[in-house]
Amino acid sequence: MRRSRVIALTAAAAGLALAVAVVHKRGGVAYLNIDSALTDARVFYLLVMAPLGIAAASLIATLPRIVALNVAATVAGLLVLEVGVRLFVAAPPVVDGEPQVQGGGAFYVPDEHLGYTIARAATVDHRRTIGGTEIYHVTYRTDSVGRRETPASERGPRRGFVAFFGDSNVFGEGLQQTETLPYFTGQVTPAYRVYNYGVPGYGPAQFLALANHGDLRAQIAEQEGYVAFLLIPAHVSRVVGSSRVSVSWGRHFPYYVEDHGAPARRGDFAHGRALTTLAYFLWTRSAFAERLGIELPLWYTERDYRLTARVLKEADRQLKQRLPVRRSVVVLAQVYDDVQRRTMDGIRDALRRERVDYLDYTGLMDARDPRFRVAEQDYHYSGAANEIIARRLAADLLQTASPAPSPHRVAERTPPSPGSRIRQASVSTDGQHRH
């Protein structure tokens, strides 16, 4: 027994020593991040993770027999569950098709401040399929600063501007140039020039980063105007860096934490909180995450909502220092189920506490009507939905130069109690695709 214990401890020490030596040679503890797992996979798994696994197993073997047996039984049970899920739970439909720039080149371009931007002055072909079935095939056009073009019926001087910020719902994923929210807003507000700063996959963190680092004053010629940020329930996960976001398209997104009541940037998710994101990455390799759609963290907390609201509040403050903005609002987008509604209730409560101006459009349309989404399995706004939102937004946003104290708070609901924990949910097409 003593000999086997010595062998186990020797194996543990050897495995740990090898892993430490490799990590040290590769740059130290900073090497332990998701980028290493993806770009240096052979070394990361064979010379770091495998030796660490051997060391852990060897140390377990040195524990008292009953403890070691319980640990082994737990691990074996998890492996059986993993195999069972893979055998008996169907994989979700494969979502395929990213935007392709005509003439070559990447549509998504790495950016140190935002995570990525989109190609400039490009014509882009986008064909998306779900489970092998085509749901749309459209063309996008971007301008010289990387915004999606918004066709206007008239050219020349305008009274002011309306600038939209947000994700693929603002960008108009799956829609032609004349079906986007900015386009319809321009049609009902011809005296204003409309700008589309929406980028697929973005969230409140990019809104703040753009306000801090973007050259918005040089990009917008009009002397004054309005700003709208379209917020969906999934944006909380993009602020906190959930397992779905931080291990795929959002691993280099800005990572914000609260510091004395204000959002402070701590790098990106891959490096600012490297071990957490790496653990999320390993979790997403499991069938529980892939087949059952279990996203970490399991719950949004009051702190998550507060951070989201404070990021939006700081973005608004920074933006108004750089642009002559008459009014800036957060537009709470349509919700599609009770879980999303509870999530949006948490966001709304946090926005109210932080005194962030918002418009509540969570119940503007009939969520059951398929006319208001791109496809049955794709909940991006359709052109019909965008036209409804644009008309309502033009009436609510441009009718006054300063926010009224309460008219925008339609359909108020009882906010969740302090400290309540609300489970995440998503009706998006696929977590590995920007939306």
Tens-place pLDDT, residues 95-122: 999 999 999 899 999 999 999 999 999 9
Q: Could you report how far apart the first and last alpha carbons of the chain are, in Å?
A: 57
- Low-confidence stretches of the chain (pLDDT beneath 50): 400-432
> What is the CA 357 to chain-centroid distance, rounded?
22
Residues 306-352: pLDDT tens digits?
A: 999 999 999 999 999 999 999 999 999 999 889 899 999 999 999 99
Task: Pull the structure tokens for residue 278.
Answer: 């790496």
pLDDT at 98: 95
pLDDT at 155: 65
Domain borders along the chain are: 2-88, 149-423
pLDDT at 422: 38
The three-state (H, E, C) secondary structure of the chain, written as one string = CHHHHHHHHHHHHHHHHHHHHHHHHCCCHHHCCHHHHHHCHHHHHHHHHHHHHHHHHHHHHCCCHHHHHHHHHHHHHHHHHHHHHHHHCCCCCCEECCCEECCCCCCEEEECCCEEEECCCCEEEEEEEECCEEEEEEEEEECCCCCECCCCCCCCCCCEEEEEECCHHHHCCCCCHHHCHHHHHHHHCCCEEEEECCCCCCCHHHHHHHHHHCCHHHHCCCCCEEEEEEECCCHHHHHHCCHHHHCCCCCCCEEEEEECCEEEEEEEHHHHCHHHHHHHHHHHCCHHHHHHCCCCCCEECHHHHHHHHHHHHHHHHHHHHHCCEEEEEEEECCCCCHHHHHHHHHHHHHHHHCCCCEEECCCCCCCCCHHHEEECCEEEECHHHHHHHHHHHHHHHCCCCCCCCCCCCCCCCCCCCCCCCEECCCCCCCCCCCC
Q: Which CATH architecture has domain 149-423?
A: 3-Layer(aba) Sandwich (3.40)
Task: Pull the structure tokens for residue 102.
Answer: 């005509």
Judge contact between 183 and 177, C-beta under 8 A.
Answer: yes
pLDDT at 19: 93
Residues 78-99: pLDDT tens digits?
A: 899 999 999 899 888 899 999 9
Beta strands 160-165 and 192-196 are: parallel
**pTM for the whole structure:** 0.88
pLDDT at 215: 86
Closest to 203 measured CA to CA, from 162, 175, 174, 244: 244
pLDDT at 404: 35
Judge contact between 372 and 385, C-beta under 8 A.
Answer: yes
Beta strands 373-375 and 378-381 are: antiparallel
